[in-house]
């Protein structure tokens, strides 16, 4: 088995196309494991992993924890809300205290962009970025690409539109990097106020008409409106946003071709996507959730193989 070219997963930007292939090939093996009656393998029985979540998370945290336990790793969960961070302790001090308990790998979600990279340069443990502010969310992008590959056979040559709050989304940026590295064409679609000014420099198309974007694409990835990150109003109302950029069954059925619908979750049903679209046969949202465990198992396993024992 090939090794990854990186020692940490802090962002998709650092990965090579071959790294992504290696992760997907490894995930294929783990997908078989998690569909067996006995869903555990002893691969990481002597590895300890700390999950450090400085931001709220349900799906990502559960997915990582399940992936770690499927690999038989020892798992330590850390929540910033009930920690000494509230007393003014620095990030590095917090993590070094945890590492002194002989932790081998850290999975971290943090509100500040670049926190995972900052940490990876200062501690003697493997670091996996579970989302850093509005910067990157690499494992989400990997599981999204993996799900497209599973559904359509490959990512290369496919047209993918990312719809919604591009400005505040770490998922959007990681997806753009991942899809382009695999040879896909990428478009972003949303209100002008939610499209970053630099987006053209990334080589993506920009469209403000949802129907035109959907007619162009093979895959539509519908993002959640991140109201908790918005310090000002970027559009008049959720109702108006839904009228212009929400995907409903009527619009989906009126397209000239059948497209694949994705959503990184959590879904605001009736805002960016209606229930009948989320639950339709064109939706692969639940496949994304299942694939998240296999992809995260692959990332953890491959990085753990680089730990010096």
Which of 117, 149, 135, 121 is closest to 17 using CA atoms?
A: 149
Burial letters 78-92, b for 16+ CB under 10 A, else e: bebeeeebeeeeebe
Per-position b or e across 107-131, b if 16+ CB within 10 A of its CB: bbbbeeeebbbbbbeebebbbbbbb
Per DSSP bridges, beta strands 74-79 and 48-53 are parallel
Known catalytic residue: 137?
yes
Is 109 annotated in the active site?
Answer: yes
Q: CA angle 269-275-278, nearest 5°?
A: 95
Q: Check 86, 87, 197, 281 and give the catalytic one.
A: 87
Q: Which of 8, 61, 70, 109 is catalytic?
A: 109
Query: Beta strands of the chain (E only): which ranges?
Result: 48-53, 74-79, 105-110, 126-132, 159-163, 185-189, 205-207, 219-222, 260-262
- Of these residues, 8, 31, 110, 137, which one is catalytic? 137
Q: Are 123 and 102 in contact (CB under 8 A)?
A: no
**Taking the CB of residue 174, how many other CB atoms lie within 10 A of it?**
26
Contacts of 26 (CB under 8 A, 6+ apart): 1, 297, 298, 301, 302
Q: What is the CA radius of gyration of the chain?
A: 19
Q: Which among 10, 26, 48, 60 is annotated as catalytic? A: 60
- Is residue 59 annotated as a catalytic residue, yes or no? yes
Phi, psi of 64 (to 5 degrees): -65, -45
| Catalytic-residue membership of 60 | yes
CA 59/CA 122 separation, integer angstroms:
28
277 φ/ψ angles, rounded to the nearest 5 degrees: -80, -45
Strand order, beta sheet including 185-189: 205-207, 185-189, 159-163, 219-222, 260-262
Q: Which of 59, 151, 205, 269 is catalytic?
A: 59
- Annotated catalytic sites, by residue? 59-60, 87, 109, 137
């Amino acid at each position: 088995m090939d090794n990854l070219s990186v020692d940490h997963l802090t962002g998709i930007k650092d990965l090579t196309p071959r790294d992504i292939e290696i992760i997907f090939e490894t995930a294929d093996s783990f997908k078989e494991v998690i569909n067996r009656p006995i869903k555990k393998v002893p691969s990481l029985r002597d590895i300890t992993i700390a999950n450090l979540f400085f931001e709220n998370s349900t799906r990502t945290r559960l997915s990582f924890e399940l992936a770690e336990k499927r690999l038989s790793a020892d798992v330590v969960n850390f929540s910033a809300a009930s920690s000494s961070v509230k007393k003014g302790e620095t990030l590095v001090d917090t993590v070094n205290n945890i590492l002194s308990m002989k932790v081998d790998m850290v999975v971290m979600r943090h509100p500040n962009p670049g926190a995972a990279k900052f940490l990876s340069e200062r501690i003697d443990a493997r670091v996996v970025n579970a989302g850093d502010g509005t910067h990157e969310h690499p494992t989400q992008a990997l599981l999204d690409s993996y799900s497209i590959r599973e559904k359509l056979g490959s990512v290369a040559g496919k047209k993918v539109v990312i719809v919604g709050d591009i400005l505040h989304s770490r998922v959007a940026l990681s997806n753009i990097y991942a899809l382009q590295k695999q040879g896909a064409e990428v478009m972003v679609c949303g209100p002008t106020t939610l499209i970053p000014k630099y987006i053209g420099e990334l080589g993506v198309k920009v469209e403000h008409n949802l129907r035109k974007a959907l007619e162009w694409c093979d895959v539509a990835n519908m993002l959640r409106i991140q109201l908790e990150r918005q310090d000002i109003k970027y559009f008049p109302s959720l109702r108006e946003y839904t009228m212009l950029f929400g995907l409903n069954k009527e619009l989906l059925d009126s397209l000239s071709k059948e497209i694949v619908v994705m959503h990184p979750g959590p879904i605001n049903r009736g805002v960016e996507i209606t229930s009948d679209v989320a639950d339709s046969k064109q939706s692969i949202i639940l496949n994304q959730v299942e694939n998240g465990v296999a992809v995260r198992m692959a990332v953890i396993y491959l990085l753990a193989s680089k730990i010096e024992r």
